[in-house]
């Protein structure tokens, strides 16, 4: 039986699009670092009857009746999240990572307060204070970056100097395109020195933290963590806010999420989060998280041996940021398009001190979370990197067609697991 039997009958146009997307994902390789495959159990929760239910408030404190089962689901999600990340409190209602960050700012700041966050071009995120966001009309964002783009070393001395000067209310760590592990102790030291709250946006590496493949920011004294629940965590698209030990911070965050920023929580999404958290608590998830990093290193090695320029010189996590302009003489947009035709999906990305425009920058960003879900190990990951180099070097239609055949062969040999279909 198809997962879409009823859609096929009721809405053939949407059915056609869904079938097309399934085919695209099955026959190609997803390398976008913020994407992954979710299990069938997660999909079933997202499609459950909980999509019918309004549940404003929190477990035991709802504004509508009929909450026996919604309370059970949300409580399970909260307890599993706390166990996964070593937190004392968890809010699982944010609809996405950006929502989680915005609610966090609303909980911890007053209009005009200052946040010290990573510059977007150095690996940060739009919600960390990029001028195009509405957040910058409310709060004052001051940015820090790398001291050495070739090694990825953050300029912590400059961070400390700036923090003493601007006295931020939040010192914000975290990133969307930074391949190295941060020195969490230095972030917390700087925050404590200026009386700021230490916040980590763990969105990209949440699964690696949960799988104990990288360090847990809470172990170094961070007060708050925000995260998405997809990406490396392999859950539904959504967000979450965790606090280490302060009950006061937890209460402020709860009020900021609801009623401050969002209305009724999406209970089907929260059920799917709970399912994915249970999956991440299984011992096999630790092996998965470890393999993600091993696969990244395998790809990294191939590109370095080819002489490609990797921003920060390599990776400590699931993603690689490559300067396509200097490595292959083409823009990031051209590289994305070529590789898309060859069955490899990744994204163009700005790099530090980029001279090109954001819609056609110098870099490309790619990672190993999704191919690791498919069972890829180091040998296959290295093969993907070699195919990418061939496409980006030769560029001709014949090379693209030949590479597409190779990628489909790899995809066929490592299909998306049946439990994820």
Q: Which residues are catalytic?
A: 54, 56, 201, 228, 231, 237
CB 91 within 8 A of CB 257: yes
Q: How many helices (H) and strands (E) does the chain have?
A: 16, 16
195 burial (CB, 10 Å; 0-12 / 13-18 / 19+) is exposed
CA-closest candidate to residue 171, choices 111, 227, 108, 229: 108
Distance (Å, whole) CA 289 – CA 363: 25
Which residues are CB-neighbours of 104 under 8 A, at least 6 positions away? 199, 224, 226, 241, 253, 256
Strands in 49-196 per DSSP E:
57-58, 61-62, 89-91, 114-118, 140-144, 146-148, 153-154, 170-174
Burial of 268-290, coded b for 16+ CB within 10 Å and e otherwise, reads bbbbbbbbbbbbbeeeebeebbb
* Residues pairing with 115 in the sheet: 141, 170
């Amino acid at each position: 039986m198809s997962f879409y039997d009823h859609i096929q009958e009721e809405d053939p146009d949407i059915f056609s699009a869904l079938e097309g997307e399934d085919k695209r994902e099955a026959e190609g390789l997803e390398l976008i670092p913020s994407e992954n495959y979710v299990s069938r159990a997660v999909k079933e929760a997202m499609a459950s009857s909980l999509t019918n239910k309004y549940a404003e408030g929190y477990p035991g404190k709802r504004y509508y009746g009929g909450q026996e089962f919604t309370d059970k689901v949300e409580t399970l999600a909260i307890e599993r999240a706390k166990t996964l990340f070593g937190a004392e409190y968890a809010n699982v209602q944010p609809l996405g990572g950006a929502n989680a960050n915005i609610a966090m700012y609303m909980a911890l700041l007053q209009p005009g307060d200052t946040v010290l966050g990573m510059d977007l071009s150095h690996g940060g995120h739009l919600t960390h204070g990029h001028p195009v966001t509405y957040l910058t009309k409310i709060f004052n964002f001051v940015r820090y970056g790398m001291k050495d783009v070739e090694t990825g070393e953050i300029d912590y001395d400059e961070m400390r100097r700036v923090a003493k000067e601007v006295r931020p209310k939040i010192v914000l760590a975290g990133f969307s395109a930074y391949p190295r592990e941060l020195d969490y102790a230095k972030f917390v030291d700087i925050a404590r020195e200026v009386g700021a709250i230490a916040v980590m946006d763990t969105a990209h590496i949440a699964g690696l933290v949960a799988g104990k493949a990288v360090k847990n920011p809470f172990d170094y004294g961070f007060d708050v963590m925000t995260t998405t629940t997809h990406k490396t965590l392999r859950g539904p698209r959504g967000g979450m806010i965790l606090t280490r030990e302060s009950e006061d911070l937890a209460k402020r965050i709860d009020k900021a999420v609801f009623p401050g920023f969002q209305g009724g929580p999406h209970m089907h999404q929260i059920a799917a989060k709970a399912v994915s958290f249970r999956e991440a608590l299984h011992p096999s998830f630790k092996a998965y998280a470890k393999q993600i990093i091993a696969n990244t290193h395998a790809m990294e090695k191939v590109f370095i041996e080819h002489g490609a320029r990797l921003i920060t010189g390599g990776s400590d996590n699931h993603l690689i940021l490559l300067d396509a302009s200097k490595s292959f003489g083409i823009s990031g947009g051209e590289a994305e398009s070529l590789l898309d035709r060859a069955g490899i999906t990744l994204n163009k990305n700005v790099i530090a001190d980029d001279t090109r425009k954001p819609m056609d920058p110098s870099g490309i960003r790619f990672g190993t979370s999704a191919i690791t879900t498919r069972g890829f190990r180091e040998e296959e990951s290295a093969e993907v990197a070699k195919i990418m180099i061939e496409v980006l070097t030769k560029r001709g239609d014949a090379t693209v067609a030949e590479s597409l055949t190779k990628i489909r062969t790899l995809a066929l040999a490592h299909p998306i697991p049946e439990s994820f279909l």
